[in-house]
Amino acid sequence: MAADRTTPVFRPGEGRMRPATLIALLLAAAVMLAPLIWTVLLSLKSNQALVGNSGAALEFPYTLENYWAILSGDQVFRWLLNSLIVSIGTTVGVLALCSLAGYGFARLEFPFRRTLFVFVLLGLAIPEQAVILPQHQLFAALHLHNSYPGLILPGLAGPFGVFFMTQYFRAIPRDLDEAAMLDGASRLRIFWSVLLPLTLPAQATLGVFTFLASWNSYWWPLISATRSDMYTLTVGLAAAQMNYAQTSGLGFLMAQAVFASVPIFIVYVLFQKHIVQSMAGTATR
Site for another protein in 112-171 (CB under 8 A): 116, 120, 123, 125-138, 153-154, 156-159, 162
Residue 173 CB, nearest distance to another protein (Å)?
20
Q: What is the CA radius of gyration of the chain?
A: 24
Looking at 68-76, 172-180, 192-200, 257-265, which segment touches another protein (CB under 8 A)?
Answer: 257-265
**Contact between 187 and another protein (CB under 8 A)?**
yes
CA neighbor of 207 nearest in space, from 83, 91, 101: 91
**Contact between 98 and another protein (CB under 8 A)?**
yes
Distance CA 180, CA 178 (A): 5
Asked if residues 198 and 172 have their Cβ atoms less than 8 Å apart, the reply is yes
Footprint (CB under 8 A) of another protein, residues 2-31: 8-17, 21, 24-25, 28-29, 31
Q: Which of 68, 170, 228, 268 binds another protein (CB under 8 A)?
A: 268
Task: Kindly report whether the peptide bond that precedes residue 12 is cis, defined as omega within 30 degrees of 0.
Answer: yes
**Contact between 253 and another protein (CB under 8 A)?**
yes
CA neighbor of 75 nearest in space, from 262, 217, 245, 239: 239
Q: Which of 39, 75, 146, 147 binds another protein (CB under 8 A)?
A: 39
Distance CA 159, CA 119 (A): 10
Residue 198 CB, nearest distance to another protein (Å)?
17
**Contact between 184 and another protein (CB under 8 A)?**
no
Footprint (CB under 8 A) of another protein, residues 78-97: 97
Q: Is 110 left (phi over 0), alpha (psi -120 to 50) or beta?
A: beta
Q: Considering beta carbons, is residue 64 or 276 the nearer one to another protein? A: 276
Looking at 48-56, 66-74, 175-183, 194-202, which segment touches another protein (CB under 8 A)?
Answer: 48-56
Q: Considering beta carbons, is residue 61 or 285 the nearer one to another protein? A: 285
Asked if residues 58 and 41 have their Cβ atoms less than 8 Å apart, the reply is yes
**Contact between 212 and another protein (CB under 8 A)?**
yes
**Contact between 279 and another protein (CB under 8 A)?**
yes
Long-range contacts of 267-273 (CB under 8 A, 24+ apart): 267/208, 267/211, 267/212, 267/215, 268/212, 271/204, 271/208
Task: Kindly report whether the peptide bond that precedes residue 61 is cis, defined as omega within 30 degrees of 0.
Answer: yes
Residue 268 CB, nearest distance to another protein (Å)?
5
